[in-house]
Structure 1
Amino acid sequence: MTHAAQIKIAATYMRGGTSKGVFFRLQDLPERAQVPGPARDALLLRVIGSPDPYAKQIDGMGGATSSTSKTVILSPSTRPDHDVDYLFGQVAIDKAFVDWSGNCGNLSAAVGSFAIASGLVDSTRVPHDGVATVRIWQANIGKTIIAHVPISAGQVQETGDFELDGVTFPAAEVQLAFLDPAADEEGEGGGAMFPTGNLIDDLEVPGIGTFKATLINAGIPTIFVNAADLGYTGTELQEAINGDAEALARFETIRAQGAVRMGLIDHIEQAAGRQHTPKVAFVAPATGYNASSGKAVAASDIDLVVRALSMGKLHHAMMGTAAVAIGTAAAIPGTLVNLAAGGGERSAVRFGHPSGTLRVGAEAHQVNGQWTVTKAIMSRSARVLMEGWVRVPGDSF
């Protein structure tokens, strides 16, 4: 029996923030995968090693977690005043599914670096020494991200002393600004930051209960609930949640009901086909705890604690897009996030997550009685882990 030979595709394996993913230039993909559709999805699934009933992704580049089952496609921007178009695909682990419904804020930190190193940014815009400003069009949600990438001797500088909780080793700091992060280009969820028009809703979840919830479109659609209402303290680590099948099922039901209330889906059954968004997170006032590394986080070092789930599991740190949602909600008096942080007006917040702490800033104000946010700012780091080619069987897509 004749079997198709493997083909190789130019790719780079990168860490961005607390995530890892396989990065491609659009022009390097096989022709039939250069356009959206089943061929592209099948290719990326095979690259990552999904679907895998063993949930290990042994036969691919994925790392068997939501943070490491990711793909990125970049191309020269078709938008005025932008350098690069950035498309993110969240690859399911045990299902044949690539979710294109949202952004990855962590991998956003690696986009500017990859774009410069891959020749996707005009060389005249890259200083010999200093900081390059890369204007990124986030194609999944139709938003602009500005990345400030350090440059040394004409090359992206990846090493440095910036420490990011959830990442073991220090690296160079990459500052990110997410411009106008509320809602998306298509007006998903009604096109408003608060799709229901309320800062706090009563979210009815049949069979489970009714919860106070802040439903927000900022960075990524997110459902915030109070930890205490779920029987948690907000200081839980992964093993406390991810080893509890009943708890995970409860969170997924809350997520599905919240997605309907936000107008992201019409029926809760559709949530299974939209795993990446919305996110669900729970918040509590600042409380001391030990992070997953053993590091002590003092209540005095943070404004609140937040835990968030991604792709059905508690995240080991915090998704970058969810951090944007946290910063935005914290800046608006009266949301659950703001109240957990102590209430009042604030332009920045430091929150505790399972791996440590993170600070995010947001500029929010009211226009004609409606809240709007002009930008959210945070720092991450990024590094190339491996570059060359990935190989997949030629008949796999």
Structure 2
Amino acid sequence: MAHAPQIRIPATYMRGGTSKGVFFRLQDLPEAARVPGAARDALLLRVIGSPDPYGKQIDGMGGATSSTSKTVIVSKSSKADHDVDYLFGQVAIDRAFVDWSGNCGNLSAAVGPFAISNGLIEPDRVPDDGVATVRIWQANIGKTIIAHVPITNGVVEETGDFELDGVSFPAAKVQLDFMDPAGEEDGTSGAMFPTGNLVDDLNVPSIGTFKVTMINAGIPTIFLNADAIGYKGTELQVAINSDPKALAMFETIRAHGAVRMGLIKHIDEIASREHTPKIAFVARPADYMASSGEPVAAEDVDLLVRAMSMGKLHHAMMGTAAVAIATAAAIPGTLVSLAAGGEARNAVRFGHPSGTLRVGAEASLADGQWKVAKAIMSRSARVLMEGWVRAPADTL
């Protein structure tokens, strides 16, 4: 019986923030997969191990969670004043679908290090010792990210003492500046607040009407108050991910919010947007025990946030959602700001299931419109494995 041989493709398996994924240089992909379309999606699905009806991604590189079912394609930039183009693909686990509608803020931290280590940055841009500045064009949403990558002896620094809740081991810190993070290219509105309001009443038939802040910064995000949906904001993954009714409720609210934000025209279209918008709930500070077993004290945080990703409660916090949190916290009157005390602030520390995270944003009001120059967040990144990834030749 004839069998299809496997092809091998240069790839790097990297952790960025609290996510990990398979990174490719565009030039290394098979020719058919160098352009958007069915061939590219089919290849990435096969590499990650989807669709998997067992939900484990055993026959691929994925880790069967939204944080570990990810792919990245990097190339020299086609944009002026940028070094590289970065394209992110969120791979569904149980169905044949790659969502290109948004960015991954966590993996953004690994793009600069990957680009430097793989020859996509001119050598004279990389100091022998110091910090290399990499200007990244985030192609999914048409935004600029500036990565500040530590360099020692001319190579990317990966080990260090920077600790990030949700990651087991310390590493070197990579600061990310998300420039002008409001709006996205594929939405019908480039406004930070698509409805024009800081808070809206969102009517969800058969569930209720909720106060929500719908913001488009970093990634489109719908914020609710925890107590409005029966939670305290201290919940860990098991409390929600083991409750099918809760998961269905969040997905229904997300669908109706997506319609109000102009991201889809009908709630039935939400199946084509698993990655965006995100939905999160906020609460005033309270003591709780993080998933690591370490206590988080109310006085150590400004508010509590729990966020859903790909239909499940995230184990920590998505990087792009952290940008949305930072932006909303900087604007008095949003639900995020109110949960944090209501005053104007340029930085906020919030509690999530794995611990805490500090993020900042520079917001200003001009001509009645809120603008955010940039949001700032520190993450870490590390190469886990490099070489070749294999896929059956008949995948393409």
For the aligned pair, the TM-score class normalised by the smaller chain equals over 0.9
Matches within 5 A, 1:308-387: 308-387=307-386
Aligned to 1:38: 38
Cα deviation 1:219-269 (Å, max 9, x = unaligned) = 000000000000000000000000000000000000000000000000000
- The AA in structure 1 aligned to 2:120 is L
Aligned partners of 1:328 and 1:376 also within 8 Å: yes
User: Pairwise mapping of residues 82-161 of structure 1 onto structure 2 (< 5 A)?
Assistant: 82-161=82-161
2:104 counterpart of 1:77: no
Show the counterpart of 2:169: 169
Q: Is the 8 A contact 1:112 1:134 kept in 2?
A: yes
**Following TM superposition, by how much is the alpha carbon of 1:189 offset from its aligned partner in structure 2, in angstroms?**
4.1
Structure 1 residue 185 displacement after superposition: 3.4
* Aligned-residue offset at 1:344: 1.2
Q: Which amino acid in structure 1 is aligned with residue 130 of structure 2? A: G
Q: Matched residues in 2 for 1:342 and 1:125: separation?
A: 43
Instruction: State the distance in 2 between where 1:240 and 1:90 align.
Output: 25
Q: 1:138-195 CA distances to partner (integer Å, 9 max, x unpaired)? A: 0000000000000000000000000000000000000000000000235x24110000
- 1:26 corresponding residue in structure 2: 26
Match of 1:239 in 2: 238
Q: Distance in 1 between matches of 2:260 and 2:36?
A: 29
List alignment gaps of at least 5 residues for structure 1: none
1:248 counterpart residue number = 247
Task: Give me the whole-angstrom Cα distance separating, in 2, the residues matched to 1:37 and 1:119.
Answer: 26
Q: Aligned pair 1:207/2:206, yes or no?
A: yes
> Percent same amino acid at aligned positions?
79
CA distance in 2, matches of 1:299, 1:160: 28
Q: Residue by residue, what CA displacement relative to the aligned partner does 1:277-299 show, whole Å, maximum 9, x if unpaired?
A: 00000000011100000010000
Q: Provide the rounded CA distance (Å) in 2 between the counterparts of 1:296 and 1:135.
A: 38
Q: Counterparts of 2:315 and 2:68 in 1: how far apart (Å)?
A: 11
AA aligned to 1:269 is D
* Count of matched residue positions in the alignment of Structure 1 and Structure 2: 396
Hey, what's the Cα distance between the residues in 2 that align with 1:306 and 1:245? 21
Q: Which amino acid aligns with 1:222?
A: T
Q: Aligned partners of 1:253, 1:291: CA distance in 2, in Å?
A: 28
Structure 2 segments unaligned to the other structure (5+ residues): none
What whole-Å deviation, never above 9, does each CA across 1:329-349 have from its counterpart, x for those lacking one?
000000000000000110000
Find the counterpart in structure 2 of residue 292 from structure 1: 291
3-state SS, counterpart of residue 206 of structure 2: coil
Q: Which residue of 2 aligns with 1:276?
A: 275
Alignment partners' CA distance in 2, 1:135 and 1:191: 22
| Secondary structure at 1:266 match in 2 | coil
Counterpart Cα distance in 2 of 1:307 and 1:202: 20
**Secondary structure of residue in 2 paired with 1:191:** coil
CA distance in 1, matches of 2:10, 2:200: 47
Q: Deviations over 1:178-216 (max 9, x none)?
A: 000000235x24110000000000000011000000000
d(CA) in 2 for partners of 1:240 and 1:113?
Answer: 36
TM-score (norm 2): 1.00
In structure 2, the partner of 1:60 is 60
Local SS of the residue matching 1:381: strand
Hey, what's the Cα distance between the residues in 1 that align with 2:232 and 2:269? Answer: 30
In the alignment, the residues of structure 2 paired with residue 349 and residue 302 of structure 1 have an alpha-carbon distance, to the nearest angstrom, of: 8
The one-letter amino acid paired with 2:301 is I
AA aligned to 1:88 is F
Cα distance in 1, alignment partners of residues 340 and 288 from structure 2: 16
Kept after mapping to 2: 8 A contact 1:251/1:280 = yes
Match for 2:147: what amino acid? A
2:119 and 2:233 map into 1 onto residues whose CA distance is: 44
Q: Aligned-pair distance for 1:2?
A: 1.1
Instruction: Name the CA distance, whole Å, in 2 between partners of 1:143 and 1:122.
Output: 22
Task: Report the RMSD for the aligned CA atoms in angstroms.
Answer: 0.5
Distance 1:27 1:127 in 2: 25
Secondary structure in 2 aligned to 1:57? coil
> What letter is aligned with 2:143?
K
SS in 2 for 1:254: helix
Three-state SS of the structure 1 residue aligned to 2:323 is: helix
- The letter for the 2-side match of 1:108 is S
In the alignment, is the contact (CA less than 8 A) between 1:183 and 1:189 conserved in 2?
no
Take 2:69 and 2:366, find their aligned partners in 1: how far apart are those partners?
39
CA distance in 1, matches of 2:116, 2:185: 26
The answer to whether the 8 Å contact 1:189/1:217 transfers is: no
1:320 maps to amino acid = G
